């Protein structure tokens, strides 16, 4: 069988899956089963899932669970682990990602993020929730990271869902080629797109890439004749895109989208901050605090006065 990208594949398509969450109410209509894939082309400084950025499985370390027994160090074949000042330290340049320390640790201080799964395995997990989809009008949402970093897998899972009558959705930044997006569109009912900043310089500064490809793909989506609903999500990040000028710049784009269904505001939160430490990464927005409910309400009111033609609502978080 030939893949959407032209490569030969076996019947089972594999991907690195971060996790599968059930009973979500924030990732589409009804109750959702959300499949989070690893890999992302962006590097948002406020990213709440740093464990999703790299496409391969990763190892994390939870310092508060470590009892300094040394079993992981003794069994590390590459010498990547050592004890420094009473703390287990990982030399990531030596780590082979064998994950033996995860299995060996008696206190679960070592943790793995992501595992390779086939499309059939993932669909089997999705199928367990079909009764909830039926009664709630829900379905499956494929997210990331950037789920379209692994497009063959996404298309295969979506096809299986369509055959079973399961409503489908994806969450994407659109920072991929139009060919990939075009190949996915026939198999989705809802498309959720993050728009982080319209200023190219600011986008590059805080997200790591400019926004030209994203905006170009958004225009092409709007011209598509396929039957899917388009939802725009705006992460509200204090000091980045929450000022009047940044929000006002979004309005003409939102008004130009003929097939736009609604706009969701995702207030900044700090739920993923601890994961940075587990991965040995620095969190660049360490001192940033979430906006208050009053401030979020004021920003929503500001946007609602701009004569938008679609509903504006608050989503679950950025």
pLDDT 10s digits, 284-307? 999 999 999 999 999 999 999 999
Architecture of the domain defined by 14-54+115-314: Alpha-Beta Barrel (3.20)
Distances (CA, A) of 161 to 5, 148, 304, 312: 21, 17, 36, 29
Neighbouring CB atoms inside 10 A of 101's CB total: 23
The rounded distance, in Å, linking the Cα atoms of 290 and 60 is 25
Interior/surface letters 198-235, b for 16+ CB within 10 angstroms, e for the rest:
beeebbeebbeebbebbbebbeebeeeeeebbbbbbbb
Is it the case that residue 4 has pLDDT exceeding 70? no
Give per-residue burial for 163-175: e unless 16+ CB within 10 Å, then b. eeebbbbbbbbbb
Average pLDDT score over residue span 181-194: 98
Using 50, 70 and 90 to split pLDDT, how confident is the model at 2?
Answer: very low
DSSP class of residue 38? P
pLDDT at 115 over 80: yes
Report field, pTM of the whole predicted structure over 0.75: yes
**Range 138-155 average pLDDT:** 98
What burial class does residue 268 get, using C-beta atoms within 10 Å of its C-beta: 0-12 exposed, 13-18 middle, 19+ buried?
buried
Residue 316: per-residue pLDDT? 60
Per-residue pLDDT of 68-97, as tens digits, reads: 999 999 999 999 999 998 889 999 889 988
| Extended strands (E) in 201-243 | 229-236
How many CB atoms lie under 10 A from the CB of residue 12? 12
**Residues 78, 313: Cα–Cα separation, whole Å:** 50
DSSP 248-298: HHHHHHHHH-TTEEEEEEEE---TTHHHHHHHT---TTTT--PPPHHHHHH
Domain definitions of the chain by residue range: 14-54+115-314, 60-112
Fold of 60-112: Alpha-Beta Plaits (3.30.70)
- pLDDT for position 92: 84
CA distance 232 to 45: 20
Residues 206-245 pLDDT 10s = 999 999 999 999 999 999 999 999 999 999 999 999 999 9
């Amino acid at each position: 069988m030939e893949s959407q990208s032209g490569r030969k594949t076996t019947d089972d398509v594999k991907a690195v899956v971060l996790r599968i969450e059930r009973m979500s109410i924030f990732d589409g209509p009804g109750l959702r089963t959300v499949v989070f894939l690893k890999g992302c082309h962006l590097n948002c400084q406020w990213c709440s899932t740093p464990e999703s950025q790299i496409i391969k499985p990763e190892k994390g370390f939870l310092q508060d669970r470590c009892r300094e027994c040394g079993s992981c160090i003794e069994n590390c074949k590459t010498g990547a682990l050592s004890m420094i000042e009473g703390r287990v330290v990982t030399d990531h340049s030596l780590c082979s990602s064998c994950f033996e320390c995860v299995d060996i640790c008696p206190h679960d201080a070592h943790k793995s993020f992501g595992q390779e799964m086939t499309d059939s395995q993932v669909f089997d997990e999705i199928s367990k929730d079909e009764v909830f989809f039926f009664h709630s009008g829900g379905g499956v949402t494929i997210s990331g990271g950037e789920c379209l970093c692994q497009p063959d897998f996404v298309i295969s899972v979506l096809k299986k869902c369509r055959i079973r009558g399961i409503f489908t959705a994806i969450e994407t930044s659109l920072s991929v080629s139009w060919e990939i997006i075009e190949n996915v569109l026939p198999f989705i009912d809802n498309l959720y797109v993050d728009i982080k900043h319209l200023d190219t310089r600011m986008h590059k500064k805080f997200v790591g890439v400019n926004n030209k490809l994203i905006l170009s793909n958004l225009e092409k989506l709007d011209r598509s004749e396929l039957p899917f609903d388009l939802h725009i999500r705006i992460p509200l990040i204090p000091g980045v895109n929450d000022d009047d000028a940044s929000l006002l710049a979004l309005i003409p784009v939102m008004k130009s989208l003929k097939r736009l269904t609604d706009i969701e505001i995702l207030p900044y939160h700090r739920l993923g901050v601890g994961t940075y430490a587990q991965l040995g990464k620095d969190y660049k927005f360490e001192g940033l605090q979430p906006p208050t409910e009053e401030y979020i309400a004021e920003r929503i009111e500001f946007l609602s006065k701009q004569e938008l033609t679609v509903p504006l609502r608050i989503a679950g978080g950025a």
